[in-house]
Every structure is written in structure tokens, then in C-alpha cells.
Amino acid sequence: MADDDAIDKVEDVLPEVPERGSATELMDHGAAGDPLGPMRHSAAHVLAEAVLDLFPGTKLGIGPVIADGFYYDFLLPRPLTPDDLPAIEARMRESIAADHPFELSEETPEAARAALVERDQPFKVEIVDDLAAAAERDGTPMPPTTFYRQGPFIDLCRGPHVASTGQIGPFKLLGTAGAYWRGDEKRPMLQRVYGTAWATQEELDAYLWRREEAKKRDHRRLGVALDLFSFHDVSPGSAFWHPRGQAIWRTLETAMRELQLRRGYQEISTPILVSEKLWRQSGHWDHYAENMFIVESEKQLFSLKPMNCPESTFIYKSKKRSYRELPLRFNEYGRLHRNERSGALSGLTRVRQFIQDDAHIFVRPDQLAAEIGALLGEVNEAYSWVGLVPRFAFATKPDKAIGDPALWEQAERLIKEALDSTGANYVTKPKDGTFYAPKIDIYIDDALGREWQMATIQVDLVMLPERFELTYTDEEGQEQRPMAIHRAIYGSLERFIGILIEHFAGAFPLWLAPIQAVIIPIADRHIEAGEELAGLLRTRGLRVEVDGSSNRMQYKIRAAQEQKVPYMVVLGDREIEARTASPRTRAGDQQPPEAWESFADRLAAESRSRSVT
């Protein structure tokens, strides 16, 4: 994708939604746990009523509730344009003003199908047919088919709804996007209209402000504007890191390596291309193969590794291990590949190639609680570098899990005991663990109040220890199974950087800024002194540029501010003669002059502190 295309793609930021495939999912339009769900789902029905009224012959898809809003899919006689949305909104307001009650009715499946055929709504007919087929396959009677009517409009639906259209709060249509019917690229492309609805105008206004602010902060736009990275169709879903973006990457990596060195980690590196035999042994081939890039060579199947977990066991087993060696902490910045669908790719936050700050820690049972406590401390420290406060969730065994249930029970009990012993606040997420381990997930809220799932700590008694037959010799000379902890703190560095770009709106704190200072010579004769000052700053480990272009000084200052550089230093005859710097911050504050050496020491100390202020 060319850079200009990257900007065009994000002009209208719309919510990401999961594809819905089964007939039961398509009938389930509500939003469990969303107090505004019934009202938003009712707004989706009013949207469908308006579109059908304005565009006769429209075929209706589905209209579920999503985070902060709703959508409805349509097969329309013509493509919608932005100018159509105000007309649709006006028609929706008429329905809301009419205060039509939402009326539930039940039909036999046969009568429901006949009515939908008569209305020429083939997508709805397909849903009824699939429900009937599923009931027949399961040997269960198909329940009555439910419809909801408001005014002249009736739709196949399970609900729930508010009592009448007049109870729909302030709303706004947000935009349109293409969506394949049932998420299948072989099916018709429908037009999806997104909207949002809130209880009060103040809440709607606040949401719309956050949405506009999110557009300004979109990391795909800022990544281009700040010359951090780009994406190109020669390698979809893989970032091309430019020098400034790579500087952010390496700075984060260096900080984590320093933390790991203090904690006694040992860095390893394992191959990217791995035989299917490994993935079958680990269980990933059965549970994850569709997300792998498969490669065939000499009649053997290999995969680009989607995770680092199993490979670390070969290093663990390279020699006999004693209880004295544990905990054994292996960290790896492994390059990973996951075969994400092209429609799901989204800048740095959803990619096909990424690097993860993985670690696999092998412990004795009596060491687990202390190790989890220390890992929570690592998370708190690393997130403090960027001003984020982590929250914790304990995710338990999912329905599809491998291994002995007794081992799962043991792992879950030990995690809970460890969490409780640290005093950490956490919530429990039943059945949300991985297929091989219960886990602790870490969440943060960014500057706009959006929640992101970040790091993870998984306690594995099944996949690595059992399937790869890991052992250590205890004090009695007997072989025992270690426990394996999978942990990532940043997670995917691509995703972490994308989130940070949006959190800081591109204005990184000094320690993380790709360019920490720009020297601006007033005239060509001042360039040599500018290079001298830049060299002095670089000896302190700072990232500095000299703007020796022929542009006017005010233009250079404005350019540095637009690039969100923390400090700008203008050099003229007076400053060079006195060997002083009068730094200007990106916020426009002019600081008092100070000696070059003092300025260099102050910036170096500020950078080392990893302060976010």
C-alpha cells in the first residue's frame, strides 16, 4: 500500500466487528451486558425501516448491536454516498417522533418463511432455512419464529427492544462500509451502515468528540505523517519500519532488556521455520493450523512459527536440569507470522508479521507464587515507563482444552493463590484461558479511555511440561516436572507501538521520542556549530538532528513542532559565542539559556529517568 493510500484508508474510522456466520448468531441481535443494547438494537430496526422506505427493493441483512452502537447490512439498488446519511437520519427521526410500539409476534417456521418470500427478503429466508436445518440435524423441534413490528416495518428478530421508538435516545449515523454476507467473500457484498445511540445528548456529544479525536490520533495516519513506518502490497500485513520508527522500537527493546537483565533472564533465539511435527506435538496443529503460513519442502510440511512456545523446550532439554537451576528464564524477541485474513488487517494493531517480547520461565511448584508476583511487578514497572496503569484478569479453562483436568485445577488454584498473595486487584473471566493454560491478562485504558488487552502471563502444566516431557532433578535425585510460565509484557511490539502512538497522539515522552532534539542554525555559517552541539548531545546517547536546510528559521521551528520533537534549539552568533542553548519545547515554551554541557547533561538525565511528564 502506498503512503497516500494509507491516509485515504483511515478517513472514516469505523468500529471493528466480528463476522457472524451461524443462523443462531444472525438471529441474536442483542448485546449481552450492554445496558444500552435494547435501545441501540431498536435504533438498528428504525435504520432499516428508513432505508427500506427511501430505497424500495432493498434486501435486508442483519442489524446487531456492537460496542458503542449498532449497524445494519443492506443490499441496495445503488451505492450509498455520504449525502444519503442525513436523509436516512431525518427519516429515522420521523419514526422516533411517531413513537411506534415494538410489537412481538410469533409465526410457525413455515408461515415465517412464506411471509419473507412474499416480501422478497432472501437473506432472511436463508436464516429461517438454516435454523430449520439445524433443528432437524440436532433432532430438536424448531421453536416459533419471532418478528418485531414498529409502525409499518416488521423484521425477523429475537429482540430485545425498548417499548417504543420514542424511547430511542440521541443517535448519529457514522458512515458506511462494505461487508460480505455472513463474512464469506464468495457471497454478495452488502453495504453496512454504522450508527451510535446514547441515553443523553451529552453522552452522544462526548462519544463523537472521542471518535473525532481518535481519527486525529489514528496510528496509521500519524505513522505516515511522522515518517515512522509504511505498509506495501508486496508484503500485506507487515510493517516496513523507517529509521524513526525503528528508533522507538529499539528504545523499547533496550528498556525491556535492562529489566530482564536485572531479573536474571537469558536471551535465546529459535528458528522461524519449524516442522509440522513440532506443532502436532504441541497441539497447535489441531487448534491453530488455519492461522499458520504452511510451507512445503522436500515433501515435508513446515510452518512459519506463529508463537515461540514449543521451541524453547529444545533449549531446556539440551542438558539435564537440576532444581538448583530453577527458575530458568528464557526470553526471546522472536519474529512471528499469523495468517490473518486480509480484511482483518489494521495497521500495526492487526498484522501478519510481528515480534513479541516473549519469555518462557520454568519453575518448581514452590516457586510459582513468588514468580507470578515478580512478573506482576515487571508489568507495573514497564507500563509506568509510558504512564499506563495495568488492570488484571484471571482467565480460566476454556471448553476446548487439552490435558488432564486435574492439572488444570492445580494450575488455576496456584494462579489464584499467587494473585491473592500479591494483593493485586483482578476480575475472573471464566473459560477465557488458552487451550493449554489458564492465564492472567493485562488491560489498560488509553488517553481516550479506550480499553486495550495487552500483556499475558500463562501458567502451563500441560503443553510444554507434559507434551515435551520436561524434567528436572529434585533434592532427592528424582525426576520432576517443572511448571512453565509463558509471559509477554509488551506483547506484539507492533501493536504496542501502535497503541502508544494513539495514546500520546505521536508526541512521545523524551525518552521514547524518535528524535529528541533538533538543532536549528539561523544561517549557513552556524551549521558547523550546530553539528558540534549535536555531537555533544549524541555522546550522551541522545537522538539529535541538525536542520541545515535553506528554509527560514520559523519554518524549521514549525516543521519540528509538526514532527512532535520534544526540544528545538536555535543557534545564532550570540548563542555560539556564549556556547549556550535556549531550548524551545514542542508546546512552544521558551526555556532560559544554559551552557551546552549543562543542557546535554539535563536532557540525558531526563531521558534516563523514562519520565512521561
Residues with catalytic function: 309, 338, 356, 358, 360, 439, 486
Beta-carbon neighbour count of residue 152 at 10 Å?
A: 11
Pull the grid cell for residue 48.
432499516
Q: With contact defined as beta carbons under 8 Å apart, do 482 and 227 qualify?
A: no
- What is residue 571's three-state secondary structure? strand
Give which of 204, 206, 174 is closest to 89, Cα–Cα: 174
DSSP code of 598?
H
Written as one string, the DSSP assignment of 194-246 is: EEEE-SSHHHHHHHHHHHHHHHHH-HHHHHHHTT-EEE-TTSTT-EEE-HHHH
- End-to-end, the C-alpha distance of the chain in Å comes to 36
Handedness of CA 105, 106, 109, 114 (dihedral sign): negative
* Residues across the chain: 613
Kindly report the backbone phi and psi dihedral angles of residue 480, in degrees, each rounded to the nearest multiple of 5, phi listed first: -130, 160
Pull the grid cell for residue 342.
486480509
ω into residue 327 within 30 of 0, thus cis? Answer: yes
Q: Between β-strands 426-429 and 353-363, what pairing exists: parallel, antiparallel or unpaired?
A: unpaired
Beta-carbon neighbour count of residue 603 at 10 Å?
A: 22
Return d(Cα 121, Cα 117) in angstroms, integer: 6
Buried b (16+ CB within 10 A) or exposed e, 279-291: beebbbbebbbeb
In the numeric block, the cell 440521541 is attached to 170
DSSP code of 340?
-
Q: With contact defined as beta carbons under 8 Å apart, do 423 and 380 qualify?
A: no
For the range 120-128, what are the long-range contacts, defined as Cβ-Cβ under 8 Å and sequence gap of 24 or more? 120/57, 120/59, 121/59, 121/60, 122/59, 123/59, 123/60, 123/61, 123/62, 123/75, 123/181, 124/60, 124/155, 124/156, 126/23, 127/23, 127/26, 127/27, 127/156, 128/156
Beta-carbon neighbour count of residue 373 at 10 Å?
A: 15
Pull the grid cell for residue 529.
556549530
For the range 569-574, what are the long-range contacts, defined as Cβ-Cβ under 8 Å and sequence gap of 24 or more? 569/517, 569/518, 569/519, 569/520, 569/533, 569/599, 570/520, 570/522, 571/519, 571/520, 571/521, 571/522, 571/526, 571/529, 571/530, 571/533, 572/521, 572/522, 572/523, 572/526, 573/526
Pull the grid cell for residue 287.
487448534
Give which of 87, 94, 101, 91 is closest to 167, Cα–Cα: 101
Written as one string, the DSSP assignment of 285-303 is: HHHHGGGSEEEEETTEEEE
Q: Between β-strands 544-546 and 517-521, what pairing exists: parallel, antiparallel or unpaired?
A: parallel
Pull the grid cell for residue 282.
504441541
